[in-house]
Structure 1
Amino acid sequence: MTPDQIPQLIAQIALADARVRREDPTEQRAQVLMWAGILADVPLDYAVRAVQKHYAKSTWPILPADIATQWAAAVRDRMSRDVDPAPPVDPDDEAAYRAHLTAHRRAVATGQEPPVEHHALTAGPAAAEAERRRAAIGKYIPIAVDDALSAHRPQRAARLAVLREGRPDALAVPCPVETCRAAVGAACTRPGKGQTRHRLAGPHPSRTDYAAERAA
Structure 2
Amino acid sequence: MTPDQIPQLLKQVSYADPRVLPEDPKEIAGLAGLWAVVLADVPAEFAVQAVGAHYAKSPYPIKPSDISTRWQALVHDRMSRHTGTFEPTAHPELDPDDEAGFRQALAAERRAVVMGHQPPTPLAAITSGPAAEEVERRLKELGTYMPPSVRDALAPYRPAAAARVTAIREGRTDALAIACPVGTCRATEKQPCTRPGKGGRRHRLTNPHPSRIDAATGAAA
SS at match of 1:56: helix
* 1:59 counterpart letter in structure 2: P
Output one character per residue of 1:173-216: Cα deviation in whole Å (capped at 9) or x when no partner. xxxxxxxxxxxxxxxxxxxxxxxxxxxxxxxxxxxxxxxxxxxx
CA distance in structure 2 between the aligned counterparts of 1:46 and 1:69, rounded to whole angstroms: 12
Q: Decide which moves more: 105-114 or 5-14.
A: 105-114
CA distance in structure 2 between the aligned counterparts of 1:113 and 1:22, rounded to whole angstroms: 39
Output one character per residue of 1:120-170: Cα deviation in whole Å (capped at 9) or x when no partner. x379xxxxxx627x79xxxxxxxxxxxxxxxxxxxxxxxxxxxxxxxxxxx
* 2:3 counterpart letter in structure 1: P
CA distance in structure 2 between the aligned counterparts of 1:73 and 1:90, rounded to whole angstroms: 35
SS at match of 1:23: coil
* Equivalent position of 2:192 in the other structure: none
* 1:18 counterpart letter in structure 2: P
* 2:80 counterpart letter in structure 1: S
CA distance in structure 2 between the aligned counterparts of 1:5 and 1:114, rounded to whole angstroms: 27
Given the alignment, which residue of 120, 129, 134 partners 1:131? 129
* Equivalent position of 1:116 in the other structure: 121
* 1:31 counterpart letter in structure 2: L
SS at match of 2:57: coil
The offset of 1:92, in angstroms, is 4.1
The offset of 1:106, in angstroms, is 1.6
The offset of 1:114, in angstroms, is 2.0
Output one character per residue of 1:3-31: Cα deviation in whole Å (capped at 9) or x when no partner. 11011111111111111112101001101
* 1:114 counterpart letter in structure 2: P
TM-score when normalising by structure 2: 0.53
Q: Does 1:100 align with 2:98?
A: no
* Equivalent position of 2:47 in the other structure: 47
SS at match of 2:119: coil
CA distance in structure 1 between the aligned counterparts of 2:16 and 2:99, rounded to whole angstroms: 50
Output one character per residue of 1:90-138: Cα deviation in whole Å (capped at 9) or x when no partner. 554322221111111122122232212224x379xxxxxx627x79xxx
* Equivalent position of 1:80 in the other structure: 80
CA distance in structure 2 between the aligned counterparts of 1:21 and 1:114, rounded to whole angstroms: 37
5+ long unaligned stretches in structure 2: 133-221
SS at match of 1:85: coil
* 1:58 counterpart letter in structure 2: S
* 1:55 counterpart letter in structure 2: Y
Q: Does 1:16 align with 2:13?
A: no
TM-score when normalising by structure 1: 0.54
SS at match of 1:4: helix
Q: Decide which moves more: 85-94 or 108-117.
A: 85-94
The offset of 1:76, in angstroms, is 0.8
The offset of 1:79, in angstroms, is 0.7
Question: Contact between 2:85 and 2:126, CA under 8 Å: does it hold in 1?
Answer: no
Distance 1:122 1:102, change over 3 A: closer
| Counterpart mapping for 1:65-214 below 5 A | 65-86=65-86, 87=88, 88=91, 89=94, 91-119=96-124, 121=125, 131=129
* 1:4 counterpart letter in structure 2: D
CA distance in structure 1 between the aligned counterparts of 2:48 and 2:11, rounded to whole angstroms: 10
The offset of 1:54, in angstroms, is 0.6
SS at match of 1:131: coil
Structure with the greater alpha carbon radius of gyration: 2
CA distance in structure 2 between the aligned counterparts of 1:94 and 1:122, rounded to whole angstroms: 23
* 2:59 counterpart letter in structure 1: T
* 1:131 counterpart letter in structure 2: G
SS at match of 1:29: helix
Number of equivalent positions:
127
Higher helix proportion (structure 1 or 2): 2
5+ long unaligned stretches in structure 1: 124-129, 136-216
CA distance in structure 1 between the aligned counterparts of 2:3 and 2:13, rounded to whole angstroms: 16
The offset of 1:71, in angstroms, is 0.6
Q: Decide which moves more: 80-89 or 58-67.
A: 80-89
